[in-house]
A and B are shown apart, each in its own frame.
Chain A
Amino acid sequence: ETGVTQTPRHLVMGMTNKKSLKCEQHLGHNAMYWYKQSAKKPLELMFVYNFKEQTENNSVPSRFSPECPNSSHLFLHLHTLQPEDSALYLCASSQDKNSAVEQYFGPGTRLTVT
């Protein structure tokens, strides 16, 4: 266990559904990240929060909406997704974004959009 938990672990949703992914870290970190991992492609950084402030949005479509209510929790709200959004969504945390330190990853949510 890395100290980063994600729920649900698996999610199947239709294109018209609204769902949310949850991430929680118990490490006292101040930075949290959302990544998308598709087969045979590099890990794609989606969003970064540092001290609860969003510092990066890598041209992510608006059907993905992040929320960071506090330094320990991070959500990814999903709305009207497309089949190509099916992927493993990984959450990570680190001490803070401005230090060269390792990131701790959760186990991911396997999302399938039908």
Chain B
Amino acid sequence: SQQGEEDPQALSIQEGENATMNCSYKTSINNLQWYRQNSGRGLVHLILIRSNEREKHSGRLRVTLDTSKKSSSLLITASRAADTASYFCATGDLNNDMRFGAGTRLTVKP
């Protein structure tokens, strides 16, 4: 089964900087979702982007999807210490079966 693979595995930035995380996958998808997880907690849904969409925004979050390159990116602008968490992409295949990657651990230093 396919999985999204996040890159980098870990990212450390200063508060106020932008954070970019990438996700690559191997087979055709129906949609791609980004989730956030604070340490030891459940995942929280951030954005869903469908295969016919190229970009979506939600507050300080911007997600892009390039189906030709089988990749997506999550941009967090003007980061805050509270953005410190792990971020996961999940790919939904043509049956809407979702597969998660191992995540990117983001640390935002105050």
Please indicate the chain A residues that have their CB under 8 angstroms from the CB of B35 in the complex: 105
**Contacts between the two chains (Cβ within 8 Å), count:** 55
B-contacting residues of A (Cβ < 8 Å)? 2, 4, 6, 35, 40-43, 45, 56, 88, 90, 92, 97-108, 110
B45 neighbours in A (Cβ, 8 Å):
102-104
Question: For A43, what are the chain B residues with a Cβ–Cβ distance below 8 Å?
Answer: 43, 88, 90, 100
Contact B98 A103 (CB under 8 A): yes
Q: CB-CB < 8 A to A107: which residues of B?
A: 41-42
Q: For the complex, is B27 an interface residue (Cβ under 8 Å from A)?
A: no
| Per-position binary interface string of chain B over residues 3-32, scored 1 when its CB falls under 8 Å from any chain A CB and 0 otherwise | 100000000000000000000000000110
Q: For the complex, give the distance between the alpha carbons of A106 and B41 in Å.
A: 8
Cβ of A108 and Cβ of B41 under 8 Å apart?
yes
A105 to chain B, nearest CB (A): 3
Q: Give min CB distance, A58 to chain B, whole Å.
A: 8
